[in-house]
Structure 1
Amino acid sequence: MDLHQGLAIGPCGIEGLVSAYVLANAGVDVAVYEKEEQLGGHAKTVNFDAVDLDLGFLFLNPARYATLLEMFDSLGVDVETSDVSFSISHDKGNGYEWCSQYGFLNYFAQKKKLLNPFNWQNLREIIKFGNDVESYLGSVENNPDIDRNETLGQFTKSKGYSENFQNTYLAPICGSMWSSSKEDVMNFSAFSVLSFYRTRHLYQQFGQPQWLTIKGHSYFIKKVRDVLETKGCQFKLGSEVQSVLPADNGTTVICGDGSEVTYSRCILAVDAPAALRILGKQATFEETRVLGAFQYASSDIYLHRDGSLMPQNKSAWGALNFLNSRENKTCITYWLNALQKIEKTSEPFFLTVNPDHTPKNTLLKWSTNHAIPSVAASKASVELGQIQGKRGIWFCGYGFHEDELQAGMDAAHGFLEKKSSYISVGCVIFIEKGGRIFTFKGNMEKCPLKTVLKVHKPQFYWRIMKEADIGLADAYIHGDFSLVNENEGLLNLFRILVANKENSAASNKRRTWWSPALLTASISSAKYFVKHLMRKNTITQARRNIAHHYDLSNELFSLFTGKMMQYSSGVFRTGEEHLDVAQRRKISSLIEKTRIEKWHEVLDIGCGWGSLAIETVKKTGCKYTGITLSEQQLKYAQEKVKEAGLEDNIKILLCDYRQLPKEHQFDRICYERCCYRKERGWLGERKNFY
């Protein structure tokens, strides 16, 4: 039997891979076990008709999964907005069909149903349902003593919802998501189901929020593996974990081939029944009680091109389509073209879970298990922390695929035991709805200030993630959070942030990119508040920032930049001189100072609308490469280069300076107006620029 001082993760689906990534970046020696010959579990990408289809992460709620977005960002994996409208079709359209995509208009996609009183009653109840859900969840989350054993049936009865509403709204959605009958659905945990509705905005009829999907699909698995390999991670592919046995010196992992290796600790990244099966008789009473409460149902999933498993009325098509038959048999069809922004294809691509018949034009079929939101499971999810790490074993993998990703991070952070914050001075406390309290405390002697924030809405984290300090202001204006001390709370928050910024400056060289000054490695979105407030200008974030500013419109900038379309100041000799004259003088001065010759290759970082490139090549005949992150600037500059007939000499690229091939050499590098656009140290990643 081999001895290993590191940590084992297995079997390694996507949640295990995420755990490995977090741990390896923290310097932990990791071994990954996977029974298949490839990594990733559910996160697979297939190609049909030259179209990549992601079958793992269909969409993500940015407010809920901010930590995952951080991971994607660090890997250079782009995300893009996704249509997550939903529709319900009852009895193949003979009952009724409606879609949330265009609000009120598509609620009555069947115009003949406009005068049907049942539809109007249903709409009123959906609106009431949203209000009741918010009120119920707020009450339960803010009062830990309230019993969470209420079922969905008890909730609907206490609120007086009609049978029509239950049969045409609740049953199709819940039955489709959890492959269950109406009777089973009504016995689900009200808290779990209603939390699911709120997280996915399934009662929001009008003004659907933005969701995100991974751009480039699940190829990010390869990027994760590349990072892990550079960190020395061991991959044991084709190795099925049969059992994990607690030992005096750690945990012993036994595989199907009879091999045994003992590790200091282990993460079981599998569903609850599989975890109990692997532990076998070694499972403790508490592990059996908590994990045994999670029950699962099996579902058959088909990738196909059969439009009959969509609403009959095309105007009622949504990204998520809940179908309900007259016999109350349910299924859900995902319209991949809408979810993943796939350009028009000869036939649409669909993903259907548990259809009542095999779809025509089926491309792929597989099965999966998913947890049932029972009252017992709801209670067990709260108690899961009681068994985590008790014998050097952590557990994760008990929800939807995106939940599994988060669970993988949580397990890794639990292993790292990072319960203290990285705040260097002062104290910031978050109180979330539901009563969860998160404390960030640093050196109180250097900064004795303390402030307490009450987070009222999850949008708070999303605003911070999107717009950093401006997002903080927006969140405050919109009432997403408040300060316990109304007089000095906000002022103290700013003082603490400034003090930490200054305190971390001296130690910045000692920090790695993944340990910012005010960040904990715990599981709550609150832990990532200040990181996003002080976020680094990553490649993905830089693209978003530039697009947010420069892609407003070229017409707008032309109003104040003159004919030369130069954003920086010109060189004026008199106060009355025309802007265009001053801009031409500036460009001539730049060309002269850089001493560009005909045989030179020039790189222009942030080339704007291309004026400097065109004037330089006209005067010198050199080869010129301009890069920008603005699509509007790119389009304008390329058109101007073409008009000038200089395509052979000038290339304008949509590219970040950090993505330029390192072997490409230039004779001159221009970066106009860098003094006010980049913070000190921005060239840290490209020391070959000199």
Structure 2
Amino acid sequence: MSDSGSSRHHGGSSNKRVAVVGGGVAGIACSWELRNHNVDVDIYESSSELGGHANSVPFRGKNGQTINVDTGFVVMDETTYPHFNNFLGEIGIQTIPTDMSFGVATIDGVFEWSSRSIQSFIGTLTLLFSPWLWRLIFDIVRFSLFAQDILTEESMATRTARTGSQFASGYPYDSGDDVLSQAMERDLADLPPESIGDYLVREGYSRQFMKYFLIPMVAAPWCIDVDEFGRSFPAKPLIRFMKNHGLLDTATKTLQWRSFRNGSRTYVDAFQALLPRRHKLHLNTPIQQVTRTDGGDQVLVTLADGCTVRSYDHVVLAVHANQAVTLLGNNATDLERRVLGCFRTSRNVCYLHSDTSLLPKRPSAHAAWNCILGPYKPAEHESSQRREQQQQQQQPLLYTDDEKKQQRHGNTMSLTFDMNALQDIPLPDETGSPGRVLVSMNPFRQPSSFQSSHVYYHPLINSESILMTRYLHTINGVANVSFAGAWMGFGFHEDGFVSGAHAARIITQGRAAVPPLDLVGNSEPARSDRAGLWRNALKVVVLGTQQFLNGW
């Protein structure tokens, strides 16, 4: 059965017809950006509701009360989420300050720390006399002072990468696919750049700093295994990301993050209530195929029944990159396949529950974000804290080249979010409490009392995907098909929102008039902040101490 196009669903309108495939934050942003234009929009979502990772799930408390708890998108920051924050203001949604304390614990409880206080970080008084702890603290200070120096480092790899970036983003839109493919392959041949793990080894950071502090802290937002993260995430983009998000100064600054008291679903509901009449929502409507017509002026959308086909002037694929390739099928160009094929996802299982045994064993080590590390695989399981500390103190303070290989086969990671803290839900001893409310991502065992489970796919950020962001503009908007999604950046809600709005501008302004999208900082100038007098003096002291340790 052929459908004469979306005009049938828009009262015979002669407006430009657009299909947005995917009802997550990117699809929502695209629709919102188009709201004041003479465009008829069909939003297709395969599930029963919009929102994607903005998935607030009912939690039934012991007091009989039901509250909405976020299981995917939980927190945001007004400073680093400016476009999404403006959107919330436009639709009348308010957020609340949230607790963003972070902690790391081994699964056996041998080592646990939390950022809530000095006491929760140190744990036991005996550790105050341990060189192991003081070296960890020293490296935390050193990293905050020196890490951003990498942003001004010059190497053959960075010069080549920057040349590739200028070539790709500055090349005319009508360049041939062969020319672009050759440039792309040259850039890919220079990979991989220095990973964050290799950088930390090169700079002589201690094992405890890498294993128990930095790598878990930066791997947690992406739900990536800590060892995989250490060897695959490029150092320079990560440190640039940390600098831009205020993560290099966590020892002296408190991050001002915010959450949704009644769940992020509130913004999705508000958006739906404000949908213009020209925008039609199609829930429970999976798409089978997206096909460009031979003339190139129309794009056909085939629904899952295989019979219903609708024609559009432009289609926005606001889905994961691999899903976009699948939808395009044989209609995808070689360049689209090559670029989109570099963006992969990881499958993560999430549980909403009340099982406090998935938190760190020591209550003072509990945090809003609790990163639980699995056993270090090459080593025998240690059940005694004394034995573990003795083992750590016997190990060299720095990795040798041989140990660098050994660190790549160790930890796995699970996250447990304290939703009482993150969403300001009353604790069990407070009035109106539904009890303990926890969300665990990839737990080592199934919680004993979970109310629901969910599967989320997160972008796998690596050197190849970051490189390919430089080439996204060469395929975005070509032949009336655009792409959008958080995977086009670092995988955060702001990235998804900005990419969706960018796709809308391609539709309204024309592809050539819209500057290329840069969500990972490829176009940022290579500079570090100018340090004050006290900071420079402290750097001299730290550098001298490091040289002493290296010669010790």
Instruction: Tell me if both proteins adopt one fold, taking TM over 0.5 as the criterion.
Output: yes
Q: Identify unmatched segments of 5+ residues in structure 1.
A: 422-431, 438-453, 458-690
Deviations 1:424-463 (A, max 9, x none): xxxxxxxx986559xxxxxxxxxxxxxxxx9987xxxxxx
Cα pair 1:15 1:396 within 8 Å, conserved: yes
Partner of 2:11: none
Partner of 2:12: none
Partner of 2:84: 68
State the SS of the aligned residue for 1:24. coil
The aligned amino acid for 1:153 is: G
Cα pair 1:301 1:366 within 8 Å, conserved: yes
Partner of 1:132: 146
State the SS of the aligned residue for 1:35. coil
Q: How does 1:228-627 map to 2 (within 5 A)?
A: 228=275, 230-247=276-293, 248=295, 249-257=297-305, 258-327=307-376, 328-344=411-427, 345=433, 347-397=435-485, 398=487, 399-417=491-509, 435-436=523-524
The aligned amino acid for 2:498 is: Q
State the SS of the aligned residue for 1:275. helix
Change in Cα spacing, 1:434 to 1:187, as seen in structure 2 (3 Å) is closer
Q: Tell me by how many angstroms 1:21 deviates.
A: 1.4
For 2:244 and 2:71, locate their aligned partners in 1 and report how far apart those are by CA, in whole Å: 21
Which of 52, 57, 79 is the matching residue for 2:73? 57
User: Is the radius of gyration larger for structure 1 or structure 2?
Assistant: 1
Which of 100, 107, 125 is the matching residue for 2:115? 100
Q: Tell me by how many angstroms 1:28 deviates.
A: 2.4
Which of 96, 107, 110 is the matching residue for 1:80? 96
Partner of 1:156: 200
Partner of 2:273: 226
For 2:324 and 2:308, locate their aligned partners in 1 and report how far apart those are by CA, in whole Å: 19
Give yes or no for the alignment of 1:117 onto 2:200: no
Deviates more, 1:129-138 or 1:253-262: 129-138
Structure with the larger RCO, 1 or 2 (CA within 8 Å, 6+ apart) = 2
The aligned amino acid for 1:379 is: L
Which of 211, 231, 234 is the matching residue for 1:186? 231
Partner of 1:38: 49
Cα pair 2:19 2:315 within 8 Å, conserved: yes
For 1:40 and 1:433, locate their aligned partners in 2 and report how far apart those are by CA, in whole Å: 26
Cα pair 1:174 1:180 within 8 Å, conserved: no
Partner of 1:3: 5
* Identity among equivalent pairs (%): 25
For 1:224 and 1:297, locate their aligned partners in 2 and report how far apart those are by CA, in whole Å: 28
For 2:76 and 2:217, locate their aligned partners in 1 and report how far apart those are by CA, in whole Å: 18
State the SS of the aligned residue for 2:496. helix
TM-score w.r.t. length of structure 2: 0.71
For 2:436 and 2:505, locate their aligned partners in 1 and report how far apart those are by CA, in whole Å: 41
Q: Tell me by how many angstroms 1:237 deviates.
A: 1.7
How large is the Cα RMSD of the aligned pairs?
Answer: 2.9
Deviations 1:248-268 (A, max 9, x none): 222111111121111111110
Q: Identify unmatched segments of 5+ residues in structure 2.
A: 7-15, 163-192, 377-410, 428-432, 514-519, 530-552
Deviations 1:594-630 (A, max 9, x none): xxxxxxxxxxxxxxxxxxxxxxxxxxxxxxxxxxxxx
Give yes or no for the alignment of 1:207 onto 2:253: yes
For 1:317 and 1:181, locate their aligned partners in 2 and report how far apart those are by CA, in whole Å: 20
For 1:125 and 1:456, locate their aligned partners in 2 and report how far apart those are by CA, in whole Å: 19
Cα pair 1:298 1:368 within 8 Å, conserved: yes
Cα pair 1:252 1:263 within 8 Å, conserved: yes
State the SS of the aligned residue for 1:93. coil
Cα pair 2:25 2:52 within 8 Å, conserved: yes
Q: Tell me by how many angstroms 1:121 deviates.
A: 0.7
Cα pair 1:305 1:362 within 8 Å, conserved: yes
Cα pair 2:151 2:528 within 8 Å, conserved: no
The aligned amino acid for 2:41 is: V
The aligned amino acid for 1:367 is: V
For 2:228 and 2:82, locate their aligned partners in 1 and report how far apart those are by CA, in whole Å: 35
Cα pair 1:245 1:279 within 8 Å, conserved: yes
Q: Tell me by how many angstroms 1:128 deviates.
A: 1.7
The aligned amino acid for 2:351 is: Y
For 1:140 and 1:75, locate their aligned partners in 2 and report how far apart those are by CA, in whole Å: 45
Q: Tell me by how many angstroms 1:378 deviates.
A: 0.9
For 1:402 and 1:303, locate their aligned partners in 2 and report how far apart those are by CA, in whole Å: 24
For 1:314 and 1:146, locate their aligned partners in 2 and report how far apart those are by CA, in whole Å: 49
The aligned amino acid for 1:44 is: N
Partner of 2:402: none
Partner of 1:478: none
